[in-house]
Amino acid sequence: NRRHFFALAETEFERSRRTGHPLSAILLDIDHFKTVNDTLGHAAGDRALQALARHCRERLRPYDVLARYGGEEFILLLPNTNENEAYAIANRLRIGLAQEADFNPPGLAPVTISSGIADLATCQAETLDRLIECADSALYRAKQQGRDRACIFRNSNALNLNVPSESL
């Protein structure tokens, strides 16, 4: 999955650099995932991961690229998508997941996700790795600001453009 993602992602990255078309990356992370595993067991954690992957696949375009990035993190590469469009996608995924029964097992506070968003132009990425680093920086900011939100990378920092779902 990861190897396949990077092969496709490199192709999309080079195509975007060559054509000037927008390209965005979103890193998604399940908030407090360890609590799900520790409280309800790894089977519940696996169901949450599967629910997240299914939820994303059902809502993405055929040419978007999704992969499990590690642990409870997923990465999305969105060709022909600027940062504002990527933000809207991340927000729709976050809000929609709050209603997924498999993602929110009984006996726990609602499980949420945080997202970090970066686009090729704002990040000024010369490599795919740099684009992912920018998205990771934005994800870190989302976690710092309380989780359950999406942040967009902005020139060495991340801008929080979201409020927690209960505030919507």
Which residue reads 């949450």 in tokens?
A: 48
Tell me: the pLDDT tens digits for 41-56?
Answer: 898 889 889 989 999 9
Lowest mean pLDDT among 64-78, 98-112, 130-144: 98-112
3-state secondary structure of 97: helix
- Tell me the C-alpha distance between 129 and 94, whole Å: 24
Catalytic residue among 10, 14, 58, 72: 72
Structure tokens at 4: 């396949």
Q: How confident is the model at residue 157 (pLDDT cuts 50, 70, 90)?
A: low
pLDDT value for 166: 36
At the fourth CATH level, the homologous superfamily of domain 2-162 is Reverse transcriptase/Diguanylate cyclase domain (3.30.70.270)
CB atoms within 10 A of CB 168: 9
- Residue 133 is among the residues annotated as catalytic for this protein: no
**pLDDT reading at 164 higher than 60:** no
Provide, rounded to the nearest whole percent, the portion of the chain with pLDDT above 70. Answer: 91
All residues at 6 or more sequence positions from 133 whose CB lies less than 8 Å from its CB, including other chains = none
